[in-house]
Amino acid sequence: MLTGNKYFGLGVDIWSCGVILYALICGYLPFEDENTTMLYKKIMNGEYIVPNFVSTEAKDLIKKILTTDPTKRITITEIRDHKFYNLLKVNRDLYSEEKVRKKKNICFFFFFPLSFNNIL
């Protein structure tokens, strides 16, 4: 969006979820700068640092989600197969894609098994 390139709907949504995932795990946003121009540059170049306290699995997933090229970014299917995603066993039938589509109030992050006891 910042570069004026074609909008890759789902890929952009995955990127946004990666920013949120990073913030949930790290406690702050991946891209921060007081200078707006520098902030945009960091976002477009994918320049961020994952703290040492973040697990290898979480770092790997964040890296794959925050890939700047949307055609190379991890897909929903790949996210669901990722080791970090599978750290917790979620009742996948309870939150199946079909059931989520029927319930508009269920957040995408129900597909991410987040528990701070298991990600650090």
Per residue of the chain (120 residues), give pLDDT as tens.
Answer: 445 566 657 667 898 999 999 999 999 999 998 999 999 999 899 999 999 999 999 999 999 999 998 889 999 999 999 999 888 655 555 666 666 566 554 444 444 444 444 443
Q: Answer whether residue 2 is part of any domain.
A: no
Residue 102 is predicted with a pLDDT of 62
Tokens (6 digits) for 4? 């004026």
In 3-state terms the chain splits into helix, strand, coil percentages (rounded to 5) of 50, 0, 50
- For residue 28, the domain's CATH number is 1.10.510.10
Residue 107 is predicted with a pLDDT of 47
Predicted confidence (pLDDT) per residue in 25-39, tens digit: 999 999 998 999 999
Using alpha carbons, select from 114, 98, 118 the residue that is nearest to residue 106: 98
Q: Answer whether residue 4 is part of any domain.
A: no
Dist CA 101 CA 73 (whole Å): 23
Look up the domain containing 20 and give its range: 9-119
Q: Answer whether residue 97 is part of any domain.
A: yes
Using DSSP, state whether 66 is helix, strand or coil: coil
Q: Answer whether residue 69 is part of any domain.
A: yes
Q: Answer whether residue 1 is part of any domain.
A: no
Dist CA 103 CA 109 (whole Å): 14
Tokens (6 digits) for 35? 């200078």
Residue 7 is predicted with a pLDDT of 60
Residue 94 is predicted with a pLDDT of 61
Residue 86 is predicted with a pLDDT of 87
As for how many domains the chain has, the answer is 1
